[in-house]
Structure 1
């Protein structure tokens, strides 16, 4: 049994960012598919920009995203800072604002989650 928090920080600007996103989604999917594992998938910072793109059914990685969407949340502050708040709200993805508008990494550590960033 493992507790993992996969945090996507990569933006949408480069091929390298896309690679980090896909690696993060694949890691999240592996935890989600393993019985007994707990997963939190968090899009934070520039990573919040991926939500409207991945919600698009024509996106190359839409199906991979859908495989872990139930475990997905986004930083409340960052969806506004990166101007995707309407798209995130329309998608129904929950936002986290545990620590000054951001997800609480400390709470995840306190709950014995391994933090893995992409």
Structure 2
């Protein structure tokens, strides 16, 4: 069993960003389906995806729901990218381990493989 952190940094601006999001969600899903310890972290512009993915009409809502229990968001970036209320409404865990951001170092120290999208 592996320990993995999938970090979504891609924003919502381009087709390439959508591709990175979907690849990240699929990667998290594959790890979860195989019983691995996986954390899905929305960081930076990636936090903008949360309100879109929470929308049941989103093309990626079902995929997101398959890994939602493993999801967290950067506390600082939810404010910086204007999605505070949406993240709060969604009940997504907020991480602020290092100056308001998730601690990638802590993940690595705990033996997690960090994969960014």
Superposed CA RMSD in Å reads 0.4
CA distance in 1, matches of 2:83, 2:40: 18
Normalising by the residue count of structure 2, what TM-score does the alignment of the two structures yield?
Answer: 0.99
Is 1:12 equivalent to 2:9 in the alignment? no
Specify the alignment match of 2:26 in structure 1: 26
Is 1:67 equivalent to 2:72 in the alignment? no
Question: What secondary structure does 2:12 align onto?
Answer: coil
5 Å matches for 1:97-116? 97-116=96-115
Specify the alignment match of 1:117 in structure 2: 116
Specify the alignment match of 2:80 in structure 1: 81
Question: Which runs of 5 or more residues in structure 2 are unaligned?
Answer: none
Question: Which runs of 5 or more residues in structure 1 are unaligned?
Answer: none
| 1:59-107 superposed Cα distances (whole Å, 9 cap, x missing partner) | 0000000000000000000000000000000000010000000000010
Normalising by the residue count of structure 1, what TM-score does the alignment of the two structures yield?
Answer: 0.98
Question: What secondary structure does 1:26 align onto?
Answer: helix
Give the 4+ runs in structure 1 shifted more than 2 A: none
CA distance in 1, matches of 2:28, 2:48: 18
| 1:1-42 superposed Cα distances (whole Å, 9 cap, x missing partner) | 11100000000000000000000000000011112x100100
CA distance in 2, matches of 1:24, 1:112: 20
Question: What secondary structure does 1:4 align onto?
Answer: strand
Specify the alignment match of 1:51 in structure 2: 50
